[in-house]
Each structure stands twice: as structure tokens, then as C-alpha cells.
Amino acid sequence: MDKTFPPTTEWFTEIAPGRVERTISTTQTGRIRYQGSFWKAELAAAGCRAIAPGEVVEVVGRRGIRLLVVPNEVALSKMGERSVA
């Protein structure tokens, strides 16, 4: 019997930037350059806009071997909300 387990999702405690190499959208996994290596990446939230090549994203987690990302402005707005609280 073949047992397949869903990939584990891990949310990072510190976010870090990456640069998009291949478009990422809600329906399409893309590719980013992160810490000197290329990684498959997907949007961390369904409500995020598509991200085009050359844009900077924030890496917020990992699902299996794919990184979870948000557009840079989403991460910046969340950081602003935290600093106000």
C-alpha cells in the first residue's frame, strides 16, 4: 500500500527577500532566486496579485520543497501594522 502524505507547511519567523524569475499567480507556480539558489515558489495567500519576473517578493514560508511568497508591498504593509500595535 502506497501512503502519500500532504506536504508540510512551515511559516518562517523572519521573512527574507527573493527575486521572481518566472511569473507566479494563483493558478501557476513560478520560480524565484532566493539566497543564491533557484526555487519553485507559490503565493502564500489566494488573494495576492500575480507577480512578474524582476519583482521582489518576501519569502514567508515553505510547503514541501516550494517556497511561499507574497508581493513586497503586502509584507511591508503587514510590518507597518505590527509597528503600530
- pLDDT tens over the chain, length 85 residues: 567 888 899 999 999 999 999 999 999 999 999 999 999 999 998 889 999 999 999 999 999 999 999 998 876 666 554 433 3
CATH of the structural domain 16-84, one choice from 2.40.50.140, 3.40.50.2300, 3.40.50.920, 3.40.50.800: 2.40.50.140
Whole-number pLDDT of residue 14: 93
Report the alpha-carbon distance of residue 79 to residue 71 in Å, rounded.
13
Q: How far apart are the first and last CA of the chain?
A: 51
pTM: 0.82
